[in-house]
């Protein structure tokens, strides 16, 4: 009987706290920004930024000292390629340099005066490529185009020089071992398809932590004693408080998660290979882990704004710790260890492999298990810090009560005298 009553009462309390938390959430403009506005707007902005995926037509300058049909062929072929556009013809390297300095071109092709003489004399000819290394993608475009064009021209020259009998023989002689390069998963090499899945998953964690932190800060500031947990008959029992609040956050983030991980990639045509059961299996513990992580962090901040100063800058290092930009195999051990503290590390890794690489749940088993462990560990931590907070609150109230009593006694004494 009493078990049922307890359960019933507990459920009622959880629902009460859930309802109250939801009410607080929609009233607090700071929380609205991080729970609703940022998760909706930011992915759209990021997708827009990276939607063009690759850079085409990088402007280069050409210094042609050879003025031969071969050098003109080289320039024509470069210009015709997708990645490079011959924007300027410069008289000499100095002029080309001034074009680079004014950011008009990103690289310089210099064809020396002995270019065609060398080729016709059966000597190796060179083309000098000067790259502005400030941007990796433009460097890649400028260099790889030059490489591709020289290789193509080289093959033509080779077949002419060799003097074979048949076309097929020419082909084989110029390239005895053929090769195929197959970029799998993200075949266009698009920048958005590569970075966006990780960013989306990270936005989920960061906005959750920021929102929870702000909500906790508000609760604390509105409380008379600066406590996180109000004194109310519904707020006894730590598990009820933690569960009630988590439910409220989970409700919002079930929706936001679907928007971020399903709708946005579809809207902008980013790869989406994940099967929904495995996606659900990974995202569920991820959101739980993020919520309890956020609740733990929220107990550490005294003023509501402080959470912003603490959490915002972490976003960038966290993105790097996932191993997306800098390969995971090359992250130093210290940082690998620290990365284990954050749900995003494993959430992003699992999501990218499920979603962009079409892996199955079995392939991300390690990440999946760690996410559950993190969810459990952060739940216990959140429980512990909330219990501490409640203990503090009760102590405070008792103290207050005691003081009041003493004051009344004192007054009574004075009155008697």
Identify the residue whose tokens are 């405070």. Answer: 396
Question: Which of 7, 26, 82, 133 lies at the binding interface for another protein (CB under 8 A)?
Answer: 133
**Structure tokens, 225:** 């004693």
Question: Which of 36, 143, 259, 284 lies at the binding interface for another protein (CB under 8 A)?
Answer: 143
Compare residues 191 and 250 and give the one whose CB is closer to another protein.
Answer: 191
Compare residues 247 and 357 and give the one whose CB is closer to another protein.
Answer: 357
Q: Is 182 in the site for another protein (CB under 8 A)?
A: yes
Contact 11, 176 (CB under 8 A): no
The whole-angstrom separation of Cα 220 and Cα 92 is: 69
Q: Is 390 in the site for another protein (CB under 8 A)?
A: no
Contact 283, 355 (CB under 8 A): no
Show contacts with another protein in window 323-352 (CB under 8 A): 323-332, 334-335, 349, 352
Of 16, 24, 22, the closest CA to residue 222 belongs to: 24
Q: What does each C-alpha distance from 320 to 153, 268, 328 come to in angstroms?
A: 40, 23, 9
Q: How far is the CB of 30 from another protein (least distance, A)?
A: 5
Q: How far is the CB of 271 from another protein (least distance, A)?
A: 8
**Stretch 273-312: interaction string toward another protein, x if CB under 8 A:** ------------------------------xxxx-xx--x
Show contacts with another protein in window 214-243 (CB under 8 A): 214, 218, 221-222
Contact 50, 199 (CB under 8 A): no
Question: Which of 24, 33, 75, 377 lies at the binding interface for another protein (CB under 8 A)?
Answer: 33
Q: Coil, helix or strand for 108?
A: strand
Q: Is 356 in the site for another protein (CB under 8 A)?
A: yes
Of 58, 77, 57, 60, the closest CA to residue 130 belongs to: 60
Q: What is the DSSP letter of 106?
A: S
**Stretch 93-132: interaction string toward another protein, x if CB under 8 A:** -------xxxx---------------x--xxxxxxxxxxx
Q: Is 88 in the site for another protein (CB under 8 A)?
A: no
The whole-angstrom separation of Cα 247 and Cα 379 is: 13
**Structure tokens, 261:** 């991980």
Compare residues 225 and 401 and give the one whose CB is closer to another protein.
Answer: 225
The whole-angstrom separation of Cα 25 and Cα 184 is: 44
The string over 153-167, giving b where at least 16 C-beta atoms fall within 10 Å of a residue's C-beta and e elsewhere, is: beeebebeeeeeeee
Q: How many residues bind another protein (CB under 8 A)?
A: 113
Q: Is 320 in the site for another protein (CB under 8 A)?
A: yes
Question: Which of 1, 4, 165, 181 lies at the binding interface for another protein (CB under 8 A)?
Answer: 181
Q: Please give the full DSSP string across 331-391, using - where no structure is assigned.
A: S-HHHHHHHTT-HHHHHHHHHHHHHTT---GGGGHHHHHHHHHHHHHHHHHHHHHHHHHHH
Question: Which of 26, 173, 258, 275 lies at the binding interface for another protein (CB under 8 A)?
Answer: 173
Q: How far is the CB of 341 from another protein (least distance, A)?
A: 14
Q: Is 413 in the site for another protein (CB under 8 A)?
A: no
Compare residues 296 and 339 and give the one whose CB is closer to another protein.
Answer: 339
Compare residues 201 and 288 and give the one whose CB is closer to another protein.
Answer: 201
The whole-angstrom separation of Cα 16 and Cα 32 is: 21
Q: Is 67 in the site for another protein (CB under 8 A)?
A: no
């Amino acid at each position: 009987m009493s078990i049922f009553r307890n359960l019933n009462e507990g459920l009622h309390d959880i629902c009460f706290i859930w309802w109250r938390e939801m009410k607080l959430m929609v009233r607090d403009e700071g929380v609205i920004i991080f729970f609703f506005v940022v998760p909706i707007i930011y992915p759209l902005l990021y997708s827009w930024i990276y939607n063009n995926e690759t850079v085409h037509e990088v402007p280069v300058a050409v210094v042609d000292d050879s003025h031969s049909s071969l050098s003109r062929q080289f320039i024509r072929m470069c210009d015709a390629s997708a990645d490079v556009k011959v924007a300027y013809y410069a008289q000499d390297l100095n002029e080309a340099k001034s074009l680079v300095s004014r950011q008009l071109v990103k690289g310089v092709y210099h064809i020396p005066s002995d270019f065609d003489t060398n080729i016709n004399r059966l000597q190796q000819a060179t083309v000098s490529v000067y790259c502005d290394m400030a941007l990796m993608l433009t460097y890649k475009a400028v260099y790889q185009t030059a490489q591709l064009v020289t290789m193509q021209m080289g093959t033509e020259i080779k077949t002419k020089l060799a003097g074979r009998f048949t076309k097929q023989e020419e082909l084989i002689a110029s390239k005895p071992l053929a090769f195929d390069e197959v970029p799998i998963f993200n075949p266009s090499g698009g920048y958005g398809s590569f970075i966006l899945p990780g960013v989306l998953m990270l936005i989920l964690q960061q906005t959750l932590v920021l929102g929870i932190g702000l909500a906790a800060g508000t609760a604390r500031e509105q409380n008379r004693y600066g406590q996180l947990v109000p004194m109310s008959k519904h707020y006894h029992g730590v598990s009820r408080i933690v569960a009630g609040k988590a439910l409220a956050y989970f409700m919002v983030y079930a929706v936001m998660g679907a928007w971020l991980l399903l709708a946005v990639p579809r809207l902008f045509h980013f790869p989406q290979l994940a099967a929904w059961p495995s996606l659900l299996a990974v995202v569920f513990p991820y959101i739980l882990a993020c919520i309890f992580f956020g609740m733990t962090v929220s107990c550490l901040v005294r003023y509501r704004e402080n959470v912003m100063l603490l959490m915002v800058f972490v976003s960038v290092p966290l993105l790097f710790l996932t191993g997306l930009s800098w390969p995971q195999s090359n992250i130093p051990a210290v940082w690998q260890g620290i990365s284990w503290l954050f749900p995003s590390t494993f959430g992003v890794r699992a999501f990218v492999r499920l979603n962009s690489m079409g892996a199955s749940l079995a392939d991300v088993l390690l990440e999946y298990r760690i996410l559950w462990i993190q969810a459990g560990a952060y739940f216990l931590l959140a429980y512990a810090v909330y219990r501490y907070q409640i203990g503090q609150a009760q102590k405070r109230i008792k103290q207050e009560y005691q003081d009041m009593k003493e004051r009344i006694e004192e007054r009574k004494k004075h009155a008697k005298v």
